[in-house]
Structure formats: structure tokens, C-alpha cells
Chains A and B, each alone.
Chain A
Amino acid sequence: MSKRGLGLFVSAIMLTMLALTGCGGGAKAPEESKAVESSAEQKSEEAKTEESKQAKEKIVVGYAQVGAESDWRTANTESFKSTFVPENGYELIFNDAQQKQENQIKAIRDFIQQEVDYIVLAPVVETGWDTVLQEAKDAGIPVILSDRMIKTSDDSLYTALVCGDFIKEGETAGHWLEDYIKLKGKNHDEKINIVTLQGTIGASAQVGRTDGFANILAKNSNWNMLAKQTGEFTQSKGQEVMESFLKQFDDIDVVVAENDNMAFGAIDAIKAAGKTCGPEGEITVISYDAVKAAFDAMIAGDLNASIECSPLHGPRVAEIIQKLEKGETVEKIQYVDESYFDTSMDLEKIKSERAY
């Protein structure tokens, strides 16, 4: 076969593969639409705007989503799909980037060509957005970031950022631990030995949660952070690191895992080491995100608490868009409301009511 023919053959295969994965992404739209409960206040607000909007054209919103890697992401997508419906005066163009930045850049360019009114972007990575966001700016389309921040020298490239407040999540975890220790009736001077399984170093969730927890740690002189190590947000790495912690330190009282998956790995490691965890056990385990599997772990009595990282960004983004439509200015960074869950709550009920 000639060299050229060969090249053609390879590119043909690659194209087919890309097309295959691409199609899959499009077809991945969840059929069962999980009804996301939007708050009553927001419903009335949307009802109002609906009346005024009916005469006008629909607001077209393009959403460049990261992918569908987790329940959290799916719930996030669902939150947008259920908020930006024609009944509320919106038209949503949804794009699933399959975890690839180049797909997101292409999606944004498509949005610009289609002359959407607003672009919502949940960036896969932090850097490399300047060019394409400048194009959006030149086209006069406001860009709202969802979930993650970008690194750029020019703040005017995006209008607002809607995200979870990771520092506050870290502080919530710290406060929860303070209360829990009090509840257990432990002496104030008693030493509490803590280990932390960090996320991927440098990720905004890792930085915020580590810093937030450190703020509370500093206030409690009897808390002792034995070690921090990255588990890269994965269950297997979390398990591996916890295995090592358990051999290094005999007396671990608390494990803080910066996401649920690492906590699952840590729980397996604790059990393998012949120790117990959870509300009835020797080691207290705290995690973040509160995905469905975390509820299962709490119900099983392995996990003490999980700090919520709410994926329901849709309503908050809609709020911003409404303000922009009226010509008002909006705050650059807006946080979604988040709480925590622990084993003292009626978890079965909460789990069945939650969208994710």
C-alpha cells in the first residue's frame, strides 16, 4: 500500500472513531428526566418573566458542558435542562465535550456562529481560553462560567462565575467535626489526630477544601494534622495512600477525604487494616461532594458525614441572565447554596428526594 493510501486509511479510521464517540455524546441525553425541584420563590420569578417574555423572542443559551463523568455532572446537566426550558422563555443548546477542551472550544465557536444570546461554559481545564472567549466577546455574547474558574489575564472575558464555595465547604467540614467532637463528649484537651486525603494538587476543589479546613484547624489547638497526601480524587489512589497512613500512624482519629471516591477507598483500607470506621467505629470519616454512593456508605455506617457540593447551578445562572437582560450589573463570583449530610439525618428520605 502506498504511503498516501495508508495515511488516508488511518485518518478514515480516526474519523470514524471520533464520529462514533461524538454521536454517543449526543445520544447520551438522559431519557428519564429527573424532576429537579426548583424552589418556590424561583418558580414565581420565572412565572413572572415568562409573561413578559412571551411577546419577545426566546433567550437562546448555549451550554458547553464538560461531559457526563459522574452523577454530579449528570445532575448539573439536568439542572440546566430543566431550568432553561421553552416554558420559561429559553432555548438551550447543549453540548457535551467528552472531557476535551478542543470540543468545548469548537462548541463555543458554533454557539457564536449560531448567534446565541448567552454562553455558559463549564471549563474542562483552567487555561487556554483567551482566544475563543475573546471571539465571544467580540461577537457581544456574555459568557457565564459554571463550576470552575479559568486562568486569564483579562477578567472582562467572562461576565460571572457560578460555583461552589470550596473554602466554605472546607470550613463546614471543620465546623461539623467541632460539633461532632462536642457531641461525643470528648475532653477539650484530648488530642485529635487527623489525616487528609487531598484531591489532585492544584485543582480548585483541593486548594479550597484544604485551606478551608486549615482555617478551622488553626482555631482548635488540640487538633493535630498528622499528614496530608494526594489521592488524586480516585478511589484506588485514596485506598493506596490510606494504607500507607495506617501503617505510619497507629492512632488516627479522623480522616478527611476531599471527595467521596477517596473516602470509599479509605474505608476499604481501614477495614483491611482491622480497624473500624463510621459513627460506631474508631475512625471518623468525612468526605465532600455527597454523591449517591456516599449516602449508601453513610447508611451502611461506614462514613460519618459528607459535605455537599451542589450541582444545581441552573437556577442561579438563570437569575444572572435575567439581571443582565434588565441591564443590571451582576457580581463576578456567585456561590450556590450548600449544606452537609451526616448519619444523624434521615438519609434514606433525603437520598430518594435528591436529584443526584
Chain B
Amino acid sequence: MKAKINNIMSTELFLPIVSLILVLIINIIKTPNFFNITIQNGVFYGYIIDVINRASELVILAVGMTLVVASSGGTDISVGAVCALSGAVACFILSGGEVSTSVYHSPYIVAFVSAIIVGLVCGSFNGFLVAKMNIQPMVATLILFTAGRGMAQLVTNGQITYIRVESFKMLGNSVKGIPLPTPVFIAIAVVILTFIILKRTALGLYIETVGINNKAAKLVGLNPVLIRFIAYAFCGLLAGLAGMIVSSRVYSADANNAGLNIELDAILAVALGGNSLGGGKFSLLGSVIGAYTIQALTTTLYAMSVSADQLPVYKAIVVVIIVSLQSKGFQRIIKEFKLKRKVEKVYEK
């Protein structure tokens, strides 16, 4: 029995899951109706649904970010700007350059594919700079971080472009007859697909290898440049997809605010998932749980009516607690404490 518990506690997902449960437990005490789920207009309705719905973009970005972090030991800080850019391009194509439209000026699929391609191109650009040119990831992605929103503004001519067509809202809201919001399914699909790709092929292993030791990876015949490039390109592609969801939610492209600061949350999700930001071994599911934890925290604070000016403080406190719980230093303290007790027991005997 004890061995079993120890076994569970030592798995890499244990601490991220505990963090998520901790956040949720606060709700059982403070706002008991947090877990109520009813059906409204044929769609599930409740705080928990809000959490998994609103976290979708973050989950998608966290998946891409995990691979970037694992393969290069750096972060892609341009994902938020890429979201804005891909959304802007999609809305521009659909609106035909108008500020507000109630009919598509081009087929939806063209806009959707373009948005994904924009993401992919941005990701490839980052990948080229990081993998091929060996520029530090934060510096390389800083380029699109600054220029991305500027380009999005150019595309939308600085205005918020509205697409007031019902089918455009489907991706970010819910489709008639399906009881859960669409982003939830997309996020889950992305996670499952990525998981299968990483596990069925050796790519996951390659990414870890490159992240742990670039030179050794080269010596065993891997191509670190290509693997890193793939990670960044994939991250960009997912940012393009997330950008489409963000725009669809508000049926508009807002170059200034779409995906604002979401790159920081994505990096935090990776860290909360118990992944080392130094690269190497990674847990995709850890990051996904991290992303849901962040959104659960935000929704919890809303539900508890924490006043707006104190909101960041509470968020910071919880994040500090979670991150330190998972830190190596804290785990060492616990280990030493356990050892001490063991020694004491032996001594007593």
C-alpha cells in the first residue's frame, strides 16, 4: 500500500494535478456552486465549463510552447502577437477590407487556411533564426513579439474588423446541438494528435535528446537544426489556430488586444506543468494541466469577487506557492525532513 502511494507521488504529473486540485478545493469552501452544471440553451453551463472553455487557447499554445522549451531550452514569446496577426489576416480576407461585414467576401476555408499558414510562416521564421542561425530564442522571437502586432495593425488598417456572420462564431462559441463549446474539442484534439505524433514516432524522444544535449544528439546522427525548426514551426502553427479561436470568440480581429500577454501564461503553464524551462525531458500533459490550472485560478478569483485592483496580487501569491511546491529546493527539504524522522525513529529504538 505504502509503496503504491509512493509510486503515485513520484510520478511527474503528481504535483501539477495536486496544484489543480488545490485551486479547485478553495472553491468547495468559498463558492460551493462552482461545481454546479446546468443546461442552458442546449449547452452545458457552469463555472467548470467556463474554465475548460476559456482555457482552450492557452492549452493549444502551451502544447506548442512545451515542445519549443523542451527542444531549445528557450521560450517563444511571439505567440500572442502571432495570434493577433493570424486573426487579423483571416478577418481581413473574410471582410474584404471593410471594418464590419455581415457576409463573407471570400470562402471561410480560405481564411482559415491562410490564418494557419500565417502562423506556420511566423513559426518557421522563428525556427530559422533559432535553429539555423543559433540566435537565443528570446531574442529571435522578440522580433515578431514587437513586429507582429504592428503587422496585424497594418492588415486591419488599425481598426477592429468585425465579421458578423453566425458561422464565423462557431469556432469560438458553440455549435447548435452540441452541448460543449467548440474550443474545448479543438484543444482536446490538438493535445491528442500531438501526443500521438510524439509517441508513435520517435519525434518526442528526438526533441528531448536535442534539448538535453545538442552535441550528443548530433553525434548519434540526429539533425538538431531540423528538430528545433519543427518545434518552432509547430508552435507557430498552433498559435495561428489559437488566433482563429480568439477572433471567433469576439467575431472580430483586434490587433491590440487579441492574445495580449497570453505568451506569458503559456510559459507559466509549461512551468506549472512541472517542466524545466531549461529544456530536455518534458511532459505534455503536465503543461495542459498547468494551462487549466491558470484558467481555474482566474475563474475562481472572479467567482470569489476579488476586487479588480487586488486580482494580480492573489494570482501572484498562488503562482508563487505552486511553483515553490514543485521546485527542487522544496522537494529536497521534504526529503531531508523525511530522512531526519527516519533517523530519529531508528535512534528511539
Contact = CB atoms under 8 A, between A and B. Distances in A.
B133 A234 contact: no
A230 B309 CA distance: 8
Given A10-B135, A98-B150, A236 B41 contact: no
A345 interface: no
B249 A68 contact: no
Q: In terms of DSSP, what is the predominant structure of the interface of chain A?
A: helix
Contact of B143 (A17, A67, A74): A17
Contact of A293 (B31, B162, B298, B303): B162
Contacts of A244: 47, 50, 299, 302-303
A293 B158 CA distance: 16
Contacts of A241: 302
Nearest to B174: A272
A188 interface: no
Given A9-B133, A244-B303, A273-B40, A69 B256 contact: yes
A274 B41 contact: yes
A71 interface: yes
Q: In terms of DSSP, what is the predominant structure of the interface of chain B?
A: mixed
A117 interface: no
Given A236-B249, A248-B305, A98 B147 contact: no
B318 interface: no
A8 B102 CA distance: 47
Given A69-B256, A272-B43, A28 B158 contact: yes
A140 B41 CA distance: 65
B257 interface: yes
Interface in B141-177: 143, 146-147, 150-151, 153-154, 157-160, 162, 173
B50 A198 contact: no
A1 B252 CA distance: 43
Contacts, number: 118
B299 A74 contact: no
A99 B152 CA distance: 13
Contact of A70 (B100, B140, B159): B159
A73 B140 CA distance: 32
B252 A235 contact: yes
A24 interface: yes
A38 interface: no
A6 B134 CA distance: 9
Interface string A238-278: 01110110011000000000000100110000001110000
A247 B27 CA distance: 14
11 contacts: A10-B143, A18-B147, A21-B154, A67-B158, A98-B150, A229-B305, A230-B308, A244-B303, A247-B33, A248-B303, A272-B41
Interface of B: 31, 33, 40-41, 43, 45-47, 50, 54, 99-100, 129, 133-135, 139-140, 143, 146-147, 150-151, 153-154, 157-160, 162, 173, 246, 249-250, 252, 254-257, 260, 298-299, 302-303, 305, 307-309, 311
Q: Give the 5 A-B residue pairs with the shortest CB-CB distance, closest first.
A: A68-B158, A230-B308, A21-B150, A244-B302, A17-B147
Given A14-B147, A228-B308, A240-B54, 20 more contacts: A6-B135, A10-B139, A18-B147, A20-B147, A20-B151, A67-B158, A70-B160, A198-B308, A230-B308, A234-B254, A235-B250, A243-B50, A244-B47, A244-B303, A247-B47, A247-B303, A248-B31, A272-B45, A274-B40, A296-B100
Interface of A: 1, 6, 9-10, 13-14, 17-18, 20-21, 24, 28, 67-71, 73-74, 98-99, 198, 201-202, 227-230, 232-236, 239-241, 243-244, 247-248, 261, 264-265, 272-274, 292-293, 296
